[in-house]
């Protein structure tokens, strides 16, 4: 049974939409179901998504898409050799989503990067702080409305 079919049968009310283009299976899910669905994807023996390959975000500001952001997860099953993309729409005014570090510890660094670059917070993350930029950096540079010529405060050696 295809991955998307299993997923939509298990969570029909939590799946916003799915598509499969050239074997690239994607599910857009409701934000409040993220932990439930991800735990299912990892633990169900028919799916066995034991590897989080990537976690990132997309800012659709210039495209006018609502909501503005999506958090995107790429999963892979080493045993079954299949992959899945999960997308979670995130409103700008409430840029918060559950952390999946409890399921895949590798998400720790990915979630910190998304926080640093996009300003999307991860609820219950064990140590959500900047990973690429310094703590005094103002803003989130991968947001489409970030001013590219903005000067940042200089951080020098402590005396």
Which residues are 85's β-sheet partners?
26, 74
Distance CA 142, CA 150 (A): 13
Phi (first) and psi of residue 57, to 5 degrees:
-140, 160
Per-residue pLDDT at 152: 80
Kindly tell me if the per-residue pLDDT of 44 is higher than 60.
yes
User: What number is the average pLDDT over the span 40-63?
Assistant: 97
Model confidence pLDDT, tens digit, residues 7-30: 999 999 999 999 998 888 999 999
CB 98 within 8 A of CB 123: yes
Model confidence pLDDT, tens digit, residues 80-134: 999 999 999 999 999 999 999 999 999 999 999 999 999 999 999 999 999 999 8
124 CB neighbour count, 10 Å cutoff: 11
Domains and CATH numbers, the chain: 3-123 (3.30.460.80)
Q: Which residue has the tokens 């660094």?
A: 109
Distance CA 5, CA 156 (A): 55
């Amino acid at each position: 049974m295809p991955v998307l079919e299993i997923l939509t049968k298990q969570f029909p009310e939590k799946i916003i939409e799915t598509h499969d283009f050239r074997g690239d299976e994607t599910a857009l899910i409701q934000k409040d179901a993220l932990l439930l669905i991800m735990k299912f994807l990892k633990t169900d023996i028919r799916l066995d998504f034991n590897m989080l390959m990537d976690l990132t975000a997309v800012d659709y500001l210039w495209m006018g898409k609502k909501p503005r952001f999506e958090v995107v997860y790429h999963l892979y099953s080493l045993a079954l050799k299949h992959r899945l993309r999960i997308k979670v729409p995130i409103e700008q005014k409430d840029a918060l989503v559950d952390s999946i570090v409890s399921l895949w510890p590798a998400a720790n660094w990915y979630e910190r990067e998304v926080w640093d670059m996009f300003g999307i917070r991860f609820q219950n993350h064990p140590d959500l702080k900047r990973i690429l930029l310094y703590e005094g950096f103002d803003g989130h540079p991968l947001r489409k409305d970030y001013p590219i010529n903005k000067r940042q405060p200089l951080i020098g050696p402590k005396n």
